[in-house]
A and B are shown apart, each in its own frame.
Chain A
Amino acid sequence: MIEQIVFTLAFVSAFGLFFYRLYRIYKYIKIAKPLKLKFGFKRVARVLKIAIAQSKIFKNPLVGLLHAFVFWGFIIVNVEMLEITIDGVFGTHRSLSFLGDIYPMMIAVFELFALSVIIACVIFLGRRNIIKLKRFWNKEMTTWPRSDANIILITEILLMCSVLIMNATDTVIQSFGNEHYPKVGAFLVSGYLTPLFSGMSESTLIFIERFCWWFHIIGVLIFMNYVTFSKHLHIFFSFFNVYYSKFSPLGKMMNIPCVTNEVKIMLNLPSADPCSIEQTNQFGAKDAQDLYWKNLLDAFSCTECGRCTSVCPANITGKKLSPRKIVMDLRDRVEEIGPKAVKQGNNFNDGKSLLDQISTEELWACTTCNACVQECPVNIDPLAIILELRRFLVLEKGSAPGPINAVFANIENNGAPWQYSADDRMLWAEELSFKSK
């Protein structure tokens, strides 16, 4: 009975904390500027393709397969959470075993996926720590991001191992004829582990079995909450992020309608209503709340895989810019200002900004080539953030590099980025003739 109460309390409080934290993140994301994105079946189709079928990770088929093992493994093994929850609340054991012959088959599937998760996670640990794949060791991958990744992988391995050991000991206990342990037979994978436990006493085995059961469920409950503070949040957010990601060709940049209105007034063109002072008090972004909420959702969806950075022409050639760092800096900044910004709204000001973390050197190294956007497996758009920050630098601070300012002046005065006269625009057509044959 005490066990049931402890279980129920742990279960309810873990889920309570989990949903509260998600609600907090939702509020944090809402500190940013509004953006209306319409529902569409095309969006749903894209979630199926990119988030569920993970088409972009399969660009590297082997890694795609391993990642799919972990993804599907985690989803399917969590179906077993259903049984664990029923057993925990009602003090039963293997409550789903009434399914009869289907039950061992179901557990066999769970175990196969558990095994595949273990194999994939071991390989992933090796790639990070032994092979030391470059993108896991870039500058922004400091101690915490690297540890975060390892904690996640090790936890997943331990959680899966606990399921297999639990099942193996259960099989041995069944042979003692303990009536609390229904005879469901050996399972596909853990069956091979039973020799390890064959010499043990029933009480030892029950202790191990119970320990693994508790380890698994408490582990899952803690891990679930850990994830919301970790890069691993992508397991929940990537679906939403893909759903809301932009559809228009990647080359299309977001318009600022207020600027259009101002320019129309300047040029004496018929214009819509001028924008309110609130809308026009700042162009571009210097901090998280000046961006759009989708940019912030991007930041929470990033699992720091670094594919963006590994294809960035600036980063490849040794420049300071790393699209992943931009996204990570944004998330850190949102976590930093979130609690106060939610309370204080538009009045929030802590004397700091996102531009304290992201230098102009990084921002001016971008070629806007869209390689990072193309590459992201969950459709994060680091370029949109970079461009909004650039807009602030230019429109609000007037701090473009000298040669860029010269280009602006030329475009304004001559209608071309170079200092040539518009009267020379047809020089190319002089003495044009077909080759004489």
Chain B
Amino acid sequence: MDNNQLKVPVMAELSAQGKSPEFLFWVGCAGAYDDRYKKVTRAFAKILLHLNIDFAVLGNEERCTGDPARRAGNEMLFQMMALTNIEVVNGYNVKKIITICPHCYNVFKNEYPELGGAYEVIHHTQFLKQMIDEKKINIQNSEYINKMITYHDPCYLGRANEEYDSARDVLKQLGANLVEMKRNKNSALCCGAGGGQMFKEAEPGNKEVFLERTEEAIDTKAAIIASSCPFCMVMLTDGLKYKNKEEEISNLDVAELLANAMEL
């Protein structure tokens, strides 16, 4: 085994040693299983480890928050997942949760409290912005200086929770030339994945939503589409492939961009 290999702390192990870390890093299903988004999870975990943040993940104890079930109408299943997760998380006496998925973020922040799970919930873009503001991250020679980057607002971070600035602030810190799509912030167009659409064929229409959004991103002439949601990433990456633009334009998460700039 390589000596440089990083060990991601797991809640059950720390708990067995009598430790209770400051943050729970909620990886989410896409972060754990989706091959593309696993890279985002790795990038963010590396930043956490680099900064010596006192955190742990739930690992095999983590379960779907129930968000897709709830939005698709299955309240019973949502509540089963919610109450189960809350039991586990409360069992570790967790106070602060960082998540790399806006859907998990929304559910933890807005919907778990009335079911008995009240935590301080932080989206990873908010956490990264905070680290920069506190000068814990210093970027010297970012490879993104003057690069044209456009940021796609995930619905569940933007409109749903009015968080528009953190990701943009991080991108500005990278020295990027931030360009906006025609529909941005609270008028941003959905990527097409929310509300269960991610898992089914679109209803009959004359266009795919992800293509409409990808075209808008391409129109900005940006070299990079930055996003901060696993589902948006799937949709926009598909859109770029469909438009044969995946060579010219890359779709990267804010955490990946920052990890690259930090040369982690």
Give residues in A with beta carbon < 8 Å to B: 248-253, 255-256, 259-260, 262-264, 266-267, 269, 283-284, 311, 313-314, 316-321, 361, 364-371, 373-375, 387, 390-395, 400-404, 406-408, 411-412, 415-418, 420, 422-429, 431-437
Contact = CB atoms under 8 A, between A and B. Distances in A.
B60 A320 contact: no
A263 B114 CA distance: 14
B205 interface: yes
B10 A432 contact: no
Given A370-B159, A429-B45, A395 B4 contact: no
B103 to A, nearest CB: 9
A314 B203 contact: yes
B202 A365 contact: yes
Given A253-B111, A367-B195, A433-B6, A408 B32 contact: no
Contacts of B42: 428-429, 432
A400 B6 CA distance: 43
B63 interface: yes
Contact of B59 (A316, A426, A435): A426
Contacts of B29: 416-418
Contacts of B71: 253, 368, 387, 390
B212 A316 contact: yes
A403 B68 CA distance: 12
B33 A433 contact: no
Given A266-B80, A393-B73, A367 B156 contact: no
A426 B84 CA distance: 20
B86 to A, nearest CB: 9
B75 A256 contact: yes
The 7 A-B pairs at the shortest CB distance, nearest first, are namely A251-B160, A318-B206, A368-B195, A394-B73, A390-B73, A369-B190, A415-B63
A394 B77 CA distance: 11
A263 B84 CA distance: 10
A269 B87 CA distance: 9
A319 B195 contact: no
Interface residues of B, number: 79
A426 B263 contact: no
A403 B201 contact: yes
A290 to B, nearest CB: 14
A264 B74 CA distance: 16
Contact of B111 (A252, A373, A391, A411): A252
Interface string B244-263: 00000000000000000001
B199 A249 contact: no
Contacts of A429: 6, 8, 42, 45, 57
B76 A395 contact: yes
Contacts of A266: 80
B196 A407 contact: yes
B60 to A, nearest CB: 5
Contact of B33 (A251, A311, A400, A420): A420
A267 B33 contact: no
Nearest to B37: A428
9 contacts: A251-B161, A316-B209, A319-B204, A367-B197, A369-B159, A391-B75, A429-B8, A436-B4, A437-B263
Interface string B5-25: 110101000000000000000
B179 interface: no
Interface in B22-59: 27, 29, 31-33, 38, 41-42, 45-46, 50, 57, 59
A318 B199 contact: no
B83 A425 contact: no
B64 interface: yes
A286 to B, nearest CB: 12
A156 to B, nearest CB: 30
Contacts of B114: 255
B8 A313 contact: no
A58 to B, nearest CB: 14
B137 interface: no
B73 A400 contact: yes
Interface of B: 2, 4-6, 8, 10, 27, 29, 31-33, 38, 41-42, 45-46, 50, 57, 59-64, 66, 68-77, 79-81, 83-84, 87, 106, 109-111, 114-115, 155-156, 159-162, 186-187, 189-190, 192-209, 212-213, 263-264
Given A284-B73, A391-B75, A264 B83 contact: yes
Residue of A395, A407, A435 with most chain B CB atoms under a 10 A cut-off = A407
B79 A259 contact: yes
A260 B79 contact: yes
Contact of B38 (A252, A369, A428): A428
B76 A369 contact: no
A432 B46 contact: yes
Contact of B72 (A394, A423, A437): A394
Nearest to B194: A367
B203 A320 contact: yes
Nearest to B188: A371
Contacts of B62: 415, 422, 425
A253 B29 CA distance: 21
A305 B11 CA distance: 52
Contacts of B33: 416, 418, 420, 424-425
A308 to B, nearest CB: 13
B64 A416 contact: yes
Given A249-B162, A415-B63, A425-B59, A313 B209 contact: yes
Contacts of A284: 73, 75
Given A317-B206, A425-B33, 11 more contacts: A260-B79, A317-B202, A317-B208, A319-B205, A369-B194, A394-B75, A395-B73, A395-B74, A422-B62, A426-B10, A435-B263
A262 B76 CA distance: 9
A408 B4 contact: no
A317 B205 contact: yes
A427 to B, nearest CB: 7
Contact of A311 (B77, B110, B187, B201): B187
Contacts of B209: 313-314, 316-317, 367
B24 to A, nearest CB: 14
